[in-house]
Chains A and B, each alone.
Chain A
Amino acid sequence: MSTTLFRTIQPNHFTLLTTALLRTRTKTSRHISVRCQTSTTTQQPRTSAPKNHGSNKLDEILKDYEAVIGIETHVQLSTSTKAFCSCPNSYGSHPNTSICPVCMGLPGALPVLSSKVVDFGVRLGLALNCSLSLKSKFDRKQYFYPDLPKGYQISQFDVPIASGGYVDVDIPLEFGGGHRRFGITRVHMEEDAGKLLHSDAGDYSQAMIVSKLDLVDLNRAGVPLLEIVSEPDMRSGVEAAEYGSEMQRIVRYLGVSNGNMQEGSLRCDVNISIRPIGQAEFGTKVEIKNLNAFSAMSRAIDYEITRQALLYNQGQADKIVTETRLWDEGAQKTVTMRKKEGLADYRYFPEPDLPEVILTQEYVDSIRASLPELPEAKRRRYEAMGLGIQDVLFLANDVSVAEYFDEVIGKGADVKSAANWLMSDIAAYLKNEELSISDVKLTPHELAELIAAIKDETISGKIGKQITDPVEIEKMIMKVISESPKQLEQYRSGKTKLQGFFAGQVMKMSKGKANPALLNKILLEKLNAKE
């Protein structure tokens, strides 16, 4: 499509996309960059403040404040087409190859909603325990930016497809454990914008354009998104990160998105303010962007809590301003991206090109019936089976691991043994080999049989496993060698056939579970070592 398109459009359009298009940026954003510098310098002492203060003192200060955190999550849907045209929705294509008159915003082109987007919206809405709007609509959110071809984003404003839900999460033990429920304000459907590519700046952020040459790639324009807005229910970086992880698990369980943060399929923007404990009103809200891992999210939030608490503590609360900050992974701190000058007026109004989205109860019911078991239900089920919380969290974390586990125990395997196998041996193997559970040749059925055989003592439980740790094997080898000085002498004087004797002894010591190849390799090294 794209080639025909460019061929038929007047020639200078082609150059528009390939040559300098936007020379640097606006005056206002230049000001921002200046301010950005000054604010970073003035922030310098604050940044290092946590180190200057003893950590006890910092803890003292933090004790007096409570953070209020809300998260906006954008989930890129894994539909085969874009939301409003039939362009393929594929990540990583060559720039401007997945575009058509509709997603390019050509004159006269009209959007047509893909029913799959509604499908996915309903699935996610139900999974997040929301109530659905049987009649919702699309609206236009209007602003000018070169990555926004129509000058407006098709979104949902006052009537989202789903609202008023919640999500349950378990905080991992290492972070204190416990169960939390976070409110979901709404889920709405919208389209993604394109991307600006800058010649020299990294793909950093929209407003931090510092390049001379700017190009627009519209492959992502019109890709369907679901935006999930949480209630401001989180209180720490850990809680926020766990909320984010749960969103990732849920969209993966549902199959509505690959939830990949690096590719930007799952993007979390965090809104955070702090207030003295006991105060009812919220403090000034700061937004943090550019969080491409949950660990980064947790650290960014904790950094931001500290920064704001110190400002409060120093009587400089007025220096906490409504702004968007970026997480700088290298410096491990947040920096000002842009200050918000008043409220942006997006001039929302109902999208006249699209009819209302009407859902029938039968349709909703059929989707509800087709929902898979969700992470929370799995966790509670595993827990009820008698598994410890650590096992539960591990198994339910990855939908394919959970499915594998369910199949194994479905074959009647002992629950605890199956969990052990998956969490220790198989997990270690997958990690070493950088594989996923779907790559494992051992079928759930075979694993179940193995577990059963071990239980019946047909084979020893240890036979089932192999020792692949070279250090452990080496220890056994050294022990055997030191216990057989005579044989060693004979070997070293030329009777190399004795290698078999040593190997046999080590194998015996390991009860047959040492990896033979590894054993022989290390054994040879030791036997041939010059004293």
Chain B
Amino acid sequence: MLSTLQPPRSLTLLPFRRFHGSKTIASLASSSPTLDASFVSPPQSQILTTRRSLLSGETTASEIAKSYLSRIRLTEPQLKCFLHVSENVLKEAQEIDQRISRGEEVGPLAGVVIGVKDNICTEGMPSTAASRILEHYRPPFDATAVKKIKEMGGIVVGKTNMDEFGMGSTTEASAFQVTANPWDLTRVPGGSSGGSAAAVAARQCMVSLGSDTGGSVRQPASFCGVVGLKPTYGRVSRFGLMAYASSLDVIGCFGSTVADAGVLLHAVSGYDRFDSTSSKQDVPEFDTQFLSMDSFESKPLKGVRVGLIRETLEEGVDSGVRSATQEAASHLEALGCVVTEVSLPSFSLGLPAYYVIASSESSSNLSRYDGVRYGNQVMADELNKLYECSRGQGFGGEVKMRILMGTYALSAGYYDAYYKRAQQVRTLIRKDFKAALDHNDILISPAAPSAAYKIGEKKDDPLAMYAGDIMTVNVNLAGLPAIVLPCGLVEGGPSGLPVGLQMIGAAFDEEKLLKVGHIFEQTLKGSGFVPPTLPNVA
């Protein structure tokens, strides 16, 4: 079942469509072999390929691990995706090889090299959420998602960089380092899961875990040209995920293909008795969606109703992004989908509501970082000083700002005007999504209003940065699943910058997103979004 993905044969199924955005890189594409659609085959699942080659004896887990470690050594100085690289990678790989050589069963993720965002607890491995206040902190337990990965044979290669506690959209708010975008080293990878997205884009790991509170998986996936999957709230246990905004946080998956993101999601999904907000909904076998190209019918998505969210193509969205989204819609039509425009009247209310709720919850969730039991403590001779100094020196500026905003919003006399009102907006947004999804199987929109921007460009303009979350936050408020996958390139960088398409599904219907996403990806000409700064990538 896992080997249903056959090597692609041809791309004759659909007429080739170029991206006609005002600033597409059609001209660049012809000069760059990596982007010339006629030479690029559809991307292959690395997890499934690994499994096949391990079981057939074609290669060993140790060889795979070594090649990834050497890639990391080679590229890390420029990219800075990782805050910590595990010392146990080779040892774990050798254990898998020994099991295979002894003829023992290995888990479905055996030998899969996985990056884990630094706000997800890994036993004995530093887990700091990229914050000074947790520098050197090593948790005594694995997050449930990590535990599942390990049980299935996955190898955690290291901890990826992020905006401190998930607060940011560029990964510049990390207390330790700034991660570069593999497509253009002067640009941000997006955030907050920027390290996880860039590491997959740069093939430093096969897949990675991120977390998504307001778009922190989807926006960096878009910026880095990889697949980012934000599951339904409750699909994946949050146990071991350092809370930013508990009612919005989900652990999400990155891969270079839809299949990879889907297989990883399947591995980490399911009810967990340690997280009362995790769902008991069945987790279907997503793998069956990842059929090979040659089994596609001429209109493989016939009858699938797709709603293009009108509000996401209005003012404030780059024209290149807009046209790439429209191209994607045409592509879906060509695959048999019925695409219509839908309106979400509450769409623009989401951003302020999101920032009120997320800040409020974070002001509470981050109270535990007081320097008393763990983390960095500044010694003081009185209690308030101990708190002030430990937190004052431990938290970065963005975190402090959000704690202050949240504290304010929850204060007596303001609660009704802010927090309560934001919750009302949330209910409204849920209703609007529900109505739109009653008439459509999926909704589509851009993943972000623009492609990756320059490092430092929005650092001193938080409102501009927050505005960039407009495409994604509503989905968190509604708790719905969404996938972002590359759909085109716009001008910028040495050879163009990727743009992601967001597909939003009904609650717990990741299956449909993966199916549509996979077919979209496998049939998209010009696919194979491999960063130009990384030569010799298989």
Interface 1/0s, chain B 235-278, versus A by CB < 8 A?
Answer: 00011111101110000000000000000000000000111110
The smallest beta-carbon distance between B92 and chain A, in angstroms, is: 19
**Docked-complex contact B368 and A108, CB < 8 angstroms:** no
Q: Which residues of A contact B366 (CB under 8 A)?
A: 151
Q: Which residues of B contact A352 (CB under 8 A)?
A: 245-247, 277, 361
**Docked-complex contact A354 and B276, CB < 8 angstroms:** yes
The smallest beta-carbon distance between B445 and chain A, in angstroms, is: 26
Q: Which residues of A contact B381 (CB under 8 A)?
A: 23-24
**Docked-complex contact A349 and B410, CB < 8 angstroms:** yes
A16-B372, A146-B372 known; A353+B412 contact, CB < 8 A: no
Give CA–CA (A279, B15) in the complex, Å: 89
A107-B121, A353-B276 known; A146+B140 contact, CB < 8 A: no
User: With an 8 A cutoff between CB atoms, is A232 at the interface?
Assistant: no
Q: Which residues of B contact A354 (CB under 8 A)?
A: 276-277
List CB contacts (< 8 Å) of A104-157 with chain B: 104-113, 140, 142, 144, 146, 149-152
A26-B382, A106-B140 known; A16+B239 contact, CB < 8 A: no
A27-B384, A349-B419 known; A355+B364 contact, CB < 8 A: no
Tell which of A27, A216, A353 has the most Cβ of chain B within 10 Å: A353
User: With an 8 A cutoff between CB atoms, is A25 at the interface?
Assistant: yes
Contact of A151 among B239, B240, B364, B383 (CB under 8 A): B364
A108-B143, A349-B360, A353-B276 known; A13+B373 contact, CB < 8 A: yes
Q: Which residues of A contact B139 (CB under 8 A)?
A: 8, 101, 106-108
**Docked-complex contact B273 and A10, CB < 8 angstroms:** no
User: With an 8 A cutoff between CB atoms, is A21 at the interface?
Assistant: yes
The smallest beta-carbon distance between A10 and chain B, in angstroms, is: 6
List CB contacts (< 8 Å) of A1-17 with chain B: 4-5, 8-10, 13, 16-17
A13-B373, A23-B380, A106-B139 known; A151+B276 contact, CB < 8 A: no
Tell which of A24, A108, A142 has the most Cβ of chain B within 10 Å: A108
A interface residues, how many (CB within 8 angstroms): 46
User: With an 8 A cutoff between CB atoms, is A58 at the interface?
Assistant: no
**Looking across the interface, which residue of chain A has its beta carbon closest to that of B165?**
A107
List CB contacts (< 8 Å) of A382-433 with chain B: none
Tell which of A4, A352, A353, A354 has the most Cβ of chain B within 10 Å: A352
**Docked-complex contact A101 and B141, CB < 8 angstroms:** yes
**Docked-complex contact A108 and B373, CB < 8 angstroms:** no
**Looking across the interface, which residue of chain B has its beta carbon closest to that of A105?**
B368
Q: Which residues of B contact A5 (CB under 8 A)?
A: 140
User: With an 8 A cutoff between CB atoms, is B411 at the interface?
Assistant: yes
Give CA–CA (A111, B365) in the complex, Å: 13
Tell which of B382, B385, B412 has the most Cβ of chain A within 10 Å: B382
Q: Which residues of A contact B387 (CB under 8 A)?
A: 144
**Docked-complex contact A4 and B382, CB < 8 angstroms:** no
Contact of B276 among A109, A112, A218 (CB under 8 A): A112
**Docked-complex contact B239 and A110, CB < 8 angstroms:** yes
User: With an 8 A cutoff between CB atoms, is A530 at the interface?
Assistant: no
The smallest beta-carbon distance between B423 and chain A, in angstroms, is: 9
A109-B239, A110-B274, A349-B360 known; A21+B372 contact, CB < 8 A: yes
Give CA–CA (A140, B407) in the complex, Å: 13
Q: Which residues of B contact A13 (CB under 8 A)?
A: 373-374
**Docked-complex contact B129 and A26, CB < 8 angstroms:** no
User: With an 8 A cutoff between CB atoms, is A51 at the interface?
Assistant: no
Interface 1/0s, chain A 18-40, versus B by CB < 8 A?
Answer: 00011111111000000000000
User: With an 8 A cutoff between CB atoms, is B138 at the interface?
Assistant: yes
19 pairs from A and B in contact (CB 8 Å cutoff): A5-B140, A8-B139, A9-B137, A10-B137, A16-B373, A26-B384, A101-B141, A106-B374, A107-B139, A108-B143, A108-B243, A142-B410, A146-B370, A149-B373, A150-B368, A216-B372, A347-B364, A349-B361, A349-B410
